[in-house]
Amino acid sequence: MEFNREDNKQRIEELYKHFLLNPSITTDSRNIKKGDIFFALNGESFNGNKYAPSALEMGASLCVVDEKEYAINDKYFLVEDVLYTLQLLSNHHRRQFPDLKLLAITGTNGKTTTKELTHAVISQKYNTIATQGNFNNHIGVPLTLLRITPQTEFAIIEMGANHQGEIDFLCKIAEPKYGLITNIGRAHLEGFGGFEGVIKTKTELFRYLDRENHFAIINMDDASLSSYSKEHKNLTYKYSLTNKINSETAKLDFEGHIINSKLIGSYNSHNILAAMTIGKIFEVDLNLSIKAIEDYTPTNHRSQIQKTKDNTLILDCYNANPSSIMVALQDFQALKADNKYAFIGAMKELGEESTKEHKNIVDILRSINLKGVILIGEEFEEFEKDKKDNEIYFKTSSLAKDYLLDNKIKGGTILIKGSHSTKMDVLSDAL
């Protein structure tokens, strides 16, 4: 679908008047607060229009619907498409703030962590809003934009995608003035049509910025990105990692200043460097930037170290693709610890590349000196027939958890890595 801000312009302006009176949006009828505007979005298994009457009963000031039978009075705002209306409204709102510094962040790995670190840094100087969690899609981006107020000086918008054209679409909605791509790796290969499709999609952000004469912030250590510095000529800021310090947590020498973070994994050094570079671009006090990074505590089982009564856990259970698992295993291999275990969840959306990519992970695991390996998911099943003595295979994380409850590990250092969908985080309860 193409985004055209002129679509239904008069209707959007009418809806915007309601929004100015009640600037609180929700898409979940279960969480209505008095005065909210409810957008009756449809999903694969539900019709949001059906929840509009109950939203009004709970105190919604207006319900945006796209089925005529529900628009029975002036409390219902009838449109052709609720989702597209949300996107158009958010763009209209964003355009009321032409001087707003708006930074878009995308990439295969690290975009949520980079966004959180950047938010911590930029907030030291500016009144800032940022994407909440990883709500970074065609619904999340508009909802974030609608949180902009006249007091907002800086907005950090995370953008995710699993198909070509999605980043460009989100750029047309958000209209960023600055953009950063953390890296380009092998993820969502099925939706993107292979690795070249990943490159093409992620760099849609840079092509948008180029068209609009805006600024790109470029990771020069990523081979797929560094070439764009030539295309953007003067409209670029560049960063490259020269002073990474080996330690259990990500540690960095930034212009002679040592930064000690609470993030596990050397791969987070690039995320820290990106946030520090952005802080420098926008003239945030260096000492305040360093303190913001050092005070940041990871949540949601992203790059966390958790010490239980029996073991030390390295939790990275939110995102998993060939690139992120590979660097996590490289770090784990270099970690000086006894009794190392790796519990890895299957990777999704890899299409024809799935078998090859899972075999690569199995081969890497077999090259590392590990006391035990647990592999979870049907994608790993075909490697079970020639499994090694230290390997155990399970279809689900709940089955693996049951096994671990019956076969206690003590004194282990355990890497738990997988996507949110594989529910790897439940294993920590058994360790």
The helix/strand count (H/E) of the chain reads as 16, 19
Instruction: Indicate whether 78 and 102 sit together in one domain.
Output: no
Residue 134 has pLDDT above 80, yes or no: no
> pLDDT band at residue 382, thresholds of 50, 70 and 90?
confident
Instruction: Indicate whether 419 and 358 sit together in one domain.
Output: yes
Domain containing residue 267: CATH number: 3.40.1190.10
In a domain, 2, yes or no: no
Q: List, for residues 164-174, the tens digit of each pLDDT value.
A: 899 999 999 99
Tally of domains within the chain = 3
Answer with the one of 295, 329, 359 that is the final residue of a domain: 295
Residue 243 has pLDDT above 60, yes or no: no
Instruction: Indicate whether 56 and 202 sit together in one domain.
Output: no
Return the structure tokens found at 288. Answer: 């305040």
Q: Which domain covers residue 377, as residue numbers?
A: 304-430
In a domain, 4, yes or no: no
Amino acid at 318: Y
Instruction: Indicate whether 118 and 48 sit together in one domain.
Output: no
Q: How far apart are CA 369 and CA 52, in angstroms?
A: 57
In a domain, 417, yes or no: yes
Instruction: Indicate whether 121 and 220 sit together in one domain.
Output: yes
Question: Is pLDDT larger for residue 193 or for residue 375?
Answer: 375
Residue 369 has pLDDT above 70, yes or no: yes
Residue 244 has pLDDT above 60, yes or no: no
- In this prediction, residue 101 carries a pLDDT of 98
Domain containing residue 351: CATH number: 3.90.190.20
Average pLDDT (392-420) is 93
Instruction: Indicate whether 230 and 336 sit together in one domain.
Output: no
Q: List, for residues 12-65, the tens digit of each pLDDT value.
A: 999 999 999 999 999 998 889 999 999 999 988 889 999 999 999 999 999 999
Answer with the one of 295, 318, 342 that is the final residue of a domain: 295
- In this prediction, residue 245 carries a pLDDT of 55
Share of residues in the chain with pLDDT > 70 (%): 97
Pairing of strands 101-106, 154-158: parallel
> pLDDT band at residue 191, thresholds of 50, 70 and 90?
confident
Closest CA to 356 of 331, 383, 320: 383
- In this prediction, residue 87 carries a pLDDT of 97
Amino acid at 96: Q
Question: Over the range 185-211, which residues count as b (16 or more CB within 10 Å of their CB) and which as e?
Answer: bbbbbbbbeebebbebbbbbbbbbbbe
Residue 353 has pLDDT above 70, yes or no: yes
> pLDDT band at residue 248, thresholds of 50, 70 and 90?
low
pTM over 0.85: yes
Q: Integer distance in angstroms from the first to the last C-alpha of the chain?
A: 47
In a domain, 151, yes or no: yes
- In this prediction, residue 176 carries a pLDDT of 98
CA angle 171, 174, 179 (to 5 degrees): 60
Residue 235 has pLDDT above 80, yes or no: no
Which range scores top for mean pLDDT: 85-94, 222-231, 328-337? 85-94
Instruction: Indicate whether 251 and 327 sit together in one domain.
Output: no
In a domain, 334, yes or no: yes
Instruction: Indicate whether 224 and 142 sit together in one domain.
Output: yes
Give me the DSSP letters along 126-175.
S-EEE--TT--STTHHHHHHTT--TT--EEEEE---SSTTHHHHHHHHH-
Average pLDDT (339-367) is 92
Residue 155 has pLDDT above 90, yes or no: yes
Instruction: Indicate whether 217 and 122 sit together in one domain.
Output: yes
Which range scores top for mean pLDDT: 37-51, 123-137, 141-155, 206-220? 141-155
Instruction: Indicate whether 134 and 247 sit together in one domain.
Output: yes
In a domain, 150, yes or no: yes
Average pLDDT (175-179) is 97
In a domain, 290, yes or no: yes
Domain containing residue 19: CATH number: 3.40.1390.10
Give me the DSSP letters along 396-427.
SHHHHHHHHHHS---S-EEEEE--GGGTGGGG
* pLDDT, mean over the chain: 90
Matching residue, tokens 């229009």:
49
Residue 190 has pLDDT above 80, yes or no: no
Instruction: Indicate whether 33 and 74 sit together in one domain.
Output: yes
Q: How many CB atoms lie within 10 A of CB 133?
A: 13
Return the structure tokens found at 338. Answer: 């006894």
In a domain, 1, yes or no: no
Answer with the one of 86, 117, 148 that is the final residue of a domain: 86
Instruction: Indicate whether 220 and 106 sit together in one domain.
Output: yes
- In this prediction, residue 229 carries a pLDDT of 75
Give me the DSSP letters along 256-292.
TEEEEEEEESTTHHHHHHHHHHHHHHTT--HHHHHHH
